[in-house]
Structure 1
Amino acid sequence: MTEQGLYDIIDPRFAHKIVGSAQLEELHTGCRWAEGPVWFSDHDALYFSDIPNQRVLRYLPSDNSVSVYTEPSNFANGHTRDRQGRLISCEHGPRRVTRTEIDGTITVLADRFEGKRLNSPNDVVVKSDGSIWFTDPSYGILSDYEGYRAEPEQPVHGVYRIDGRSGEVRLMVGDFVQPNGLAFSPDESVLYVADSGASHNPDAPRHIRAFAVEDGGMALRDAGPFAVIDNGIPDGFRVDTDGWVWCSAADGVQVFDDTGTLCGRIFVPQTVSNLTFGGPRRNRLFITATTSLYALYVTARGVQTP
């Protein structure tokens, strides 16, 4: 893919976020639906999901290899890591959020709210106070492809917070059609959450919403739509150190500044599901897209993760 074919530079500032000579690399293919990339700097490894195949895969840059990390994975989707460096996962199958302990055992962090089963936890992020925030759309129970078909028990498709100390699960927002990816601004004063409702209804939202984080991280105030994806839907996304949002889309990665203005695109041959920054300097953009894992070096750096 040539430089001209790889980027759409809408705002000149975007040109300073990319490396003109860098190439989009396909690191692995053969997935059914690649998702949930998370970088572990201490492992020098990227972990990502192949949801329908019930696998979590591990990519090692040192030898450019991909191997199976977990199988079966309970239809695991999104991942992050907590302040202690443990893997946090959203599992569609048992409809829960889990933590993989250092010894490999699994701790269930949330599988119910007010006595009813969650829908299908989708994506997850950890705040600096140790709280765990996740989205709960119904994608994993719509069919037997990425989970197990079932009727929802929750009356809403919401965004939840798990207290890092008590483990209390609290519904923070309950008016989404299909909440999906989520991420905090660099100073954690804003939480961004994608609504990908248009995946099954063209008249439903295809935007990222912004919420002001208030009351010491215990409340959210709706600040309205932040950005609209004009090709496909917003799925997973990440924020760089300047507060710019790098979001998945049908045509690749769409990049917005901190005001929600579309500044550029990175074209990817397949529909992008998610992405994350990794590598020693957090300047390698790892992209999961349908059947494949891609990577691209950029000049932007992702927000530091544990």
Structure 2
Amino acid sequence: MSEAQLGAPPFEVIDKRFAALVNGVAKLERLYTGCRWAEGPAYFAAGRYLVWSDIPNNRIMRWDETDGSVSVFREPSNNTNGHTVDRQGRLVSCEHLGRRVSRTEFDGRITVLADRYQGKKLNSPNDVVVKSDGSVWFTDPAYGIDWDYEGERAESEIGRCNVYRIDPASGDVALVADDFERPNGLAFSPDESKLYIADTGATHVEDGPRHIRVFNVGEGGKLKGGEVFATCTAGLFDGFRVDEDGRIWTSAADGVHCYEPDGTLIGKIRVPEVVANVCFGGLRRNRLFICGTTSLYSYYTLVRGAKTY
């Protein structure tokens, strides 16, 4: 499917700092449409392609940057949600139906990284990042077991929605945060001294959290702090990524919101659908890929994504 240019520059400058980050010539481009709920984009620089989840349709899609073609990367996919690329260039995925975090090896085999905590099944891993030491960090809300739409309804064996770390040497799964209603997207700051985690608890709790919290990352993966970094002004934050200067580019109901490291909302990329997740990619990491409900979009920024993604 050919790319469709969607009108005038889509950005909104709230703080003058944002004007230096957006390209007045670039347009929001729709690269594909036809999903039920697009999520979890991950860009593979070596192959110049992007994969993302179409969760209810139980498939992973693949978009080729060299010719704009779209194909099915994997079907069925165990209702995958978030993806990332590890430091060796392998795909790491959160599976709702499998209730696990898995890795796709170079030969196509699937390795299970985590499916239980203290002998109990995980809920439905949602989003994942890999730190430079090889540790894998993921959130585990219950969206994939709450209903049959994006997984299979089941009781939570753990009884809570937590955030976990997989040790790179032993493979042990450690609990790193247990005070969330529905932990969702997460990302490290460029120097990995901070970890940002979204809480979308408002989906299940009246006046519940719709914010991103920020933690200091200590030795051995210990988290400290957890103050609210920003509260969403349009819908909910879901997935997000960080640019090389530490700004947060996060999904929201009206597009992508950009926050300075001091927590100031400085601007938005307007998208005509509710946005679920984003990632940076392209030859210079300056292309922001956006999963917006039924469609995959992109927009060229004037900044680059952090090298950790």
Mark yes or no: TM-score above 0.5. yes
Once the two structures are superposed, what CA deviation does each residue of 1:99-143 show, in whole Å capped at 9, x if it has no partner?
111110011010000110000000000000000000000000011
The range that moved more, 217-226 or 206-215, is: 217-226
Which residue pairs with 1:203 in the alignment?
Answer: 207
Which residue pairs with 2:105 in the alignment?
Answer: 101
Query: Are residues 1:149 and 2:169 paired?
Result: no
Which residue pairs with 1:167 in the alignment?
Answer: 171
Q: Secondary structure at the match of 2:208?
A: coil
Q: How does 1:35-184 map to 2 (within 5 A)?
A: 35-184=39-188
Which residue pairs with 2:3 in the alignment?
Answer: none
Look up the equivalent residue of 1:255 and give its one-letter code.
C
The CA distance in 1 between the partners of 2:27 and 2:241, in whole Å, is 20
Q: 4+ residue runs of structure 1 moved beyond 3 angstroms?
A: 1-4
How far off its partner does 1:3 sit? 4.1
The CA distance in 2 between the partners of 1:190 and 1:129, in whole Å, is 15
Once the two structures are superposed, what CA deviation does each residue of 1:216-237 show, in whole Å capped at 9, x if it has no partner?
x420002400011111001000
1:188 is matched with which residue: 174, 192, 203?
192
The CA distance in 2 between the partners of 1:245 and 1:145, in whole Å, is 30
Which residue pairs with 2:267 in the alignment?
Answer: 264
Provide structure 1 residue ranges, at least 5 long, that are not aligned to the other structure.
none
Once the two structures are superposed, what CA deviation does each residue of 1:78-118 show, in whole Å capped at 9, x if it has no partner?
00011111110000001000011111001101000011000
TM-score (norm. length: structure 1) = 0.97
Once the two structures are superposed, what CA deviation does each residue of 1:58-87 show, in whole Å capped at 9, x if it has no partner?
101111111001000000000001111111
Query: Are residues 1:218 and 2:221 paired?
Result: yes
TM-score (norm. length: structure 2) = 0.96
The CA distance in 2 between the partners of 1:39 and 1:2, in whole Å, is 25
The CA distance in 1 between the partners of 2:308 and 2:187, in whole Å, is 11
The CA distance in 2 between the partners of 1:218 and 1:185, in whole Å, is 14
RMSD: 1.0
Tell me the matched-pair count: 304
Once the two structures are superposed, what CA deviation does each residue of 1:7-45 show, in whole Å capped at 9, x if it has no partner?
210111101111011100110000000000000000100
The CA distance in 1 between the partners of 2:130 and 2:107, in whole Å, is 21
Q: Secondary structure at the match of 2:26?
A: coil
Which residue pairs with 1:231 in the alignment?
Answer: 234
Query: Are residues 1:25 and 2:29 paired?
Result: yes
How far off its partner does 1:155 sit? 2.5
The range that moved more, 282-291 or 153-162, is: 153-162
Q: Secondary structure at the match of 1:176?
A: coil
Which residue pairs with 2:13 in the alignment?
Answer: 9
Q: Secondary structure at the match of 1:175?
A: coil
The CA distance in 2 between the partners of 1:247 and 1:115, in whole Å, is 34
